[in-house]
Structure 1
Amino acid sequence: MNRVQVLRSCLRNAGLVFSRADYCSLAVSSSSSSSCASSPQSPSVLTSTTVFDYQDNCLDSRNQATVNLVAAKACVGSSPDEILISLAHDKVCNDIEASNDLVDKLLLRFKDDWKSALGVFRWAGLRPGYKHRPEAYDMMVDILGKMKQMDRMKEFLEEMNRNHLVTLNTVGKAMRRFSGAGKWEDAVRMFDELGTFGLEKNTESMNLLLDTLCKEGKVEQARAIFLELKSHILPNAHTFNIFIHGWCKANLVDEAHWTLQEMKGHACRPCVISYSTIIQFYCRRYNFSKVYELLDEMEAQGCPPNAVTYTTVTVFLVKSQNIEEALQLTQRMKSAGCKPDTPFFNSLIYLLGRAGRFQEAVDVFEKEMSNAGVSRDTSTYNSMIAIFCHHGHVSKALSLLKEMQTSALFNLDGLTFYPLLKSCLRTGDMDLLSQLLDDMVKKHQLSLDRSAYALLIHGLCRANKCEWAYHLFEEMIGKDIVPKYQTCHLLLEEVKLKSMYDTAEKIEEFMKKL
């Protein structure tokens, strides 16, 4: 369908289009020299740029509607096979053309619901003219591993291998999920069997395994494997930085210092990452004398601290209530010629907010960042939204949310919405709460995690909305997200007070299984 046909189609469906003002606004952007005044009621005089923008917005709206439709259909069924059958026999779904964009958005929507994700994945794979990209397979591996469906993940990997779709990225996702599930031996076995996937054992793949093990607290096992491999696989600086991080995580900082010397023995020069990792270890223990020793050592070694190093130290100085010392460090940073970056300002805004210095945080956001030529990112906005909500300025927080939603520069996440959800529950604004949840799921494909469900269920119970709370409880269980006992108990007590005895019985049955 060409651009004109799409535009005509959008105009024919004007009733739908005009109701989605955020997506398909007909406001005309014309230059100041234009002699022609246009209006939404006069599409014939739209400029060509506006026509194309209008068409693209309509397509975005239509694509999102398709995602929502398939997602709703996918909720029918208690297993991937049932969901697949439901979608395959649905007349509306049979008229939908599968695409990479559609599948990516659906898998993102169901990243915490492996049954729906797998059902949708299988359905799309059967659609005529469509073939899954390797990236879609990798997303599916990650979803299965995240939801601890390890046997299914193994079967899925075997299927991928038969079709020659396993890449090092796939292996990395699988290794991380195996280790995260306490099956680190399976991660090692996967490395040993790299040849069966047509992949090599080299420095990159070795580092991938070592990093996976160290991040899961298996640094000693990683060290033993490294000693076996180093005779035929050369380590690089990244190899040693992985171990420095692993030793620090295991509270064995002397081993981390020793690794700095080992790096030099392998002709690998310690870098900012090497030192900053150890500095972070001492920061977490508020041992700032050691921190300053290492900062001095970095400068003496010709490896000056960067903005990340200074940001780390600043964060922990403020956490330890050393506000003035933190400000002095920012001056040291400027004197050293190290320019603040976005993460530095994000940390400063967050910490000023925590310290109750509201106006200073606002000034950094509104003035200092732009004066320094530093751009804002999602975390910047998230921090300010949280600060505004904490101080009761919900309307200002909503204005920032709208800025994010109307810009293509930001990827909204759960942290964007959670402070606003808390504010709604605190003020009892259920209409706004419902709207925000709808935006999260349908507009931004965000899934609720266990913490978010707990926040909502607890808040709704306090607001005497236990029917809604129970609906979320059922939704949570349907996604195989196990609520805490405290959440179950609170909801049980509330439904009993409402004389919802059938509901109470269902909750009690579930609690017996916990």
Structure 2
Amino acid sequence: MALRKLPTHFFPSLQHQLRPFSSLNLPTLEPSNDAELVSKMLLHHHNPFHAMESSLQLHGITLTPHLLHQTLLRLKHSTKIALALFNYSKSLPSPPLTSTSFHILIDLLAKVRQFDLAWQLIVEMDQLSLSPTPTTFFILIRRLISAGLTRQAIRAFDDIQGYTQTKTNSDDFCFLLDTLCKYGYVKVATEVFNKKRDGLLPDAKMFTVLIYGWCKIGRIDMGERFLNDMIGRGIEPNVVTYNVLLNGICRRASLHPEGRFERTIRNAEKVFDEMRERGIEPDVTSFSIVLHVYSRAHKPELSLDKLRLMKEKGICPSVATYTSVVKCLCSCGSIEDAEELLSEMVRNGVTPCAATYNCFFKEYRGRKDADSALKLYKKMKEEGLFVPSMHTYNILVGIFLKLNRFGIVKEIWDDMKESGVGPDLDSYTMLIHGLCEKQKWREACQFFVEMIEKGFLPQKITFETLYKGLIQSDMLRTWRRLKKKLDEESITFGSEFQNYHLKPYRR
């Protein structure tokens, strides 16, 4: 099964240091009983053939801008219903629409690659005197780049001034470079940088982003070249710049055989030395990056020694630091030591994150130890330790799918929906393919229809897998019903849908 490729972001603490330079300012989920009620009402009464009917259930409910925002956020995995609610709100005597309402919906639609609709909303903003802002375009640009549509993203960046009458500045340009690099398009970013840098004065942020981009694709030589160019221009690097280079040297280095591991550590120490020569002290992120090397090389003793050294230097380990060591201990089979370190984290006031617990779940997956995975999951639920991430849920669904524990799969799936974290396209893809492998065609079709109704465009391999399976199982009538459903949805998916025509398949 081929899942869509997701961007490989840096170490969480480094990602925090090199965050996007222009904030998108999108609202986040907040506790709201009214929004919960409205979103559940819409989901429950949703009619896939008459989308507006579900919104008519809101008759008598006063939609304020805040209620609309929070409801749209809760419908992030049901874009058709979110769009229906948005259209319904436009028909009200006093529409509760704001720029933020448009921004949320543009983000939701662009996330599932409905870019035609996203552009229509931008034009509509202009018509309603809610003039688009640079942030409007940054939301679309980020989603275009994540879909690999880099040229369209650059054109959208160039359109900012025409639509908003606002001249783009250095931070805006950094956002474009940063997003291109985070998704692996550093060559495009460098090309844009070389074309536009004469109009904008290059600074440490721009160079740091490009150094990160080159290191991300394994071109440490280019990263070092940009660092030297930066210094040659009289622009002083900072701890973030060096952490980016250190991250590039360590994170993608091949560590086996042993000589390669030792060479990587030597190269890392050279960066530490250069930092100190420039009067820059390595911080918790610097140490966390090196600790990750020990983790990848399965060096639990060295990991624990480095952790002790950090504490002796007065550097408090972060959640990322602890997670690297926990991961190392788990992958080496030292579950008990990992649990002890987890307890130490909590005692020291460091709250474990989803990635910390995922280390345990991945080890249980490798051991095919479904009982331990289920025990930890139930403990997390009962104690409210943390909100599982989408990745956590996907790991758990994968574990129990493989072991034919479909009752547990359903329980976890329902929990994921209840939490509002998901499911996303990857979740549906994994579940449908897993059901197909077990020849549970009816269940696979059910989730296939559900994902379409939620606005997710299935991957071509999902079409083909389900199609072949149904034909081979003499379920041609079921396929025809699915195909009819797909044809009905072709308007929603727009031009994206045209790439998914199936070739005739014979048994």
Instruction: Name the TM-score, length of structure 2 as normaliser.
Output: 0.76
Which residues of structure 2 form unaligned runs of 5+?
1-30, 255-263, 487-499
CA distance in structure 2 between the aligned counterparts of 1:174 and 1:60, rounded to whole angstroms:
27
Per the alignment, residue 279 of structure 2 pairs with 302
- Tell me the alpha carbon deviations over residues 399-456 of structure 1, each in whole angstroms, 9 at most, x when there is no partner: 112333xx7xx55432232343344435555444333322322x32233233322332
AA in 2 matched with 1:136: S
Give the direction of change, closer, same or farther, for the CA distance of 1:505–1:101 in structure 2 (3 Å limit): same
1:120 aligns with 2:85: yes
AA in 2 matched with 1:455: M
User: Is this contact kept in 1: 2:170–2:200, CA < 8 A?
Assistant: yes
Residue number among 332, 341, 350 corresponding to 1:374 in the alignment:
350
Identity over aligned pairs, percent: 24
Give the direction of change, closer, same or farther, for the CA distance of 1:226–1:495 in structure 2 (3 Å limit): closer
What displacement does 1:63 show? 4.4
Per the alignment, residue 471 of structure 1 pairs with 446
Per the alignment, residue 21 of structure 1 pairs with none
Residue number among 499, 502, 505 corresponding to 1:513 in the alignment:
502
Which residues of structure 1 form unaligned runs of 5+?
1-58
SS in 2 for 1:513: coil
- Tell me the alpha carbon deviations over residues 219-274 of structure 1, each in whole angstroms, 9 at most, x when there is no partner: 34433443444444223221111111122234432232122233334443212221
Per the alignment, residue 190 of structure 2 pairs with 223
Residue number among 406, 409, 415 corresponding to 1:433 in the alignment:
409
Give the direction of change, closer, same or farther, for the CA distance of 1:384–1:231 in structure 2 (3 Å limit): same
Residue number among 175, 199, 206 corresponding to 1:208 in the alignment:
175
CA distance in structure 1 between the aligned counterparts of 2:92 and 2:330, rounded to whole angstroms:
51
SS in 1 for 2:413: helix
Per the alignment, residue 493 of structure 2 pairs with none
Give the direction of change, closer, same or farther, for the CA distance of 1:488–1:361 in structure 2 (3 Å limit): farther
Per the alignment, residue 275 of structure 1 pairs with 242
Per the alignment, residue 18 of structure 2 pairs with none
CA distance in structure 2 between the aligned counterparts of 1:310 and 1:235, rounded to whole angstroms:
29
Per the alignment, residue 116 of structure 2 pairs with 151
CA distance in structure 2 between the aligned counterparts of 1:462 and 1:228, rounded to whole angstroms:
50
CA distance in structure 2 between the aligned counterparts of 1:218 and 1:422, rounded to whole angstroms:
31
Per the alignment, residue 451 of structure 1 pairs with 426
User: Is this contact kept in 1: 2:436–2:469, CA < 8 A?
Assistant: no
- Tell me the alpha carbon deviations over residues 276-308 of structure 1, each in whole angstroms, 9 at most, x when there is no partner: 222222221233332222123223322222222
Per the alignment, residue 131 of structure 1 pairs with 96
CA distance in structure 2 between the aligned counterparts of 1:231 and 1:492, rounded to whole angstroms:
55
Per the alignment, residue 178 of structure 1 pairs with 144
Per the alignment, residue 16 of structure 1 pairs with none
User: Is this contact kept in 1: 2:243–2:286, CA < 8 A?
Assistant: yes
User: Is this contact kept in 2: 1:378–1:412, CA < 8 A?
Assistant: yes
Residue number among 139, 161, 181 corresponding to 1:195 in the alignment:
161
AA in 1 matched with 2:44: A
SS in 1 for 2:45: helix
Give the direction of change, closer, same or farther, for the CA distance of 1:296–1:494 in structure 2 (3 Å limit): farther
Matches within 5 A, 1:253-292: 253-283=220-250, 284-286=252-254, 287-292=264-269
Larger Rg: 1
Give the direction of change, closer, same or farther, for the CA distance of 1:396–1:338 in structure 2 (3 Å limit): same
Supply the RMSD in Å over aligned alpha carbons.
3.2
Give the direction of change, closer, same or farther, for the CA distance of 1:296–1:222 in structure 2 (3 Å limit): same
Farther-moved stretch of structure 1 (103-112 vs 200-209):
103-112
What displacement does 1:275 show? 1.5
CA distance in structure 2 between the aligned counterparts of 1:402 and 1:385, rounded to whole angstroms:
17
Per the alignment, residue 98 of structure 1 pairs with 63
What displacement does 1:121 show? 1.7
SS in 2 for 1:395: helix
Per the alignment, residue 360 of structure 1 pairs with 337
What displacement does 1:354 show? 2.3
- Tell me the alpha carbon deviations over residues 368-396 of structure 1, each in whole angstroms, 9 at most, x when there is no partner: 11333322334334444555676432123
CA distance in structure 2 between the aligned counterparts of 1:420 and 1:87, rounded to whole angstroms:
33
Per the alignment, residue 36 of structure 2 pairs with 64
CA distance in structure 2 between the aligned counterparts of 1:383 and 1:129, rounded to whole angstroms:
50
Per the alignment, residue 53 of structure 1 pairs with none
Per the alignment, residue 160 of structure 1 pairs with 125
User: Is this contact kept in 2: 1:175–1:190, CA < 8 A?
Assistant: yes
CA distance in structure 1 between the aligned counterparts of 2:110 and 2:290, rounded to whole angstroms:
35
Per the alignment, residue 83 of structure 1 pairs with 51
Matches within 5 A, 1:380-459: 380-384=356-360, 391=369, 392-393=371-372, 394-404=374-384, 410-426=386-402, 428-441=404-417, 443-459=418-434
What displacement does 1:109 show? 4.2
AA in 2 matched with 1:83: A
CA distance in structure 1 between the aligned counterparts of 2:403 and 2:114, rounded to whole angstroms:
40
What displacement does 1:471 show? 0.4
User: Is this contact kept in 2: 1:385–1:419, CA < 8 A?
Assistant: yes
What displacement does 1:187 show? 2.7
Per the alignment, residue 236 of structure 1 pairs with 203
Give the direction of change, closer, same or farther, for the CA distance of 1:143–1:327 in structure 2 (3 Å limit): same
SS in 1 for 2:282: coil
CA distance in structure 1 between the aligned counterparts of 2:476 and 2:194, rounded to whole angstroms:
62
User: Is this contact kept in 1: 2:428–2:447, CA < 8 A?
Assistant: yes
Indicate the structure whose relative CO is greater, using CA pairs within 8 Å and at least 6 residues apart.
Answer: 2
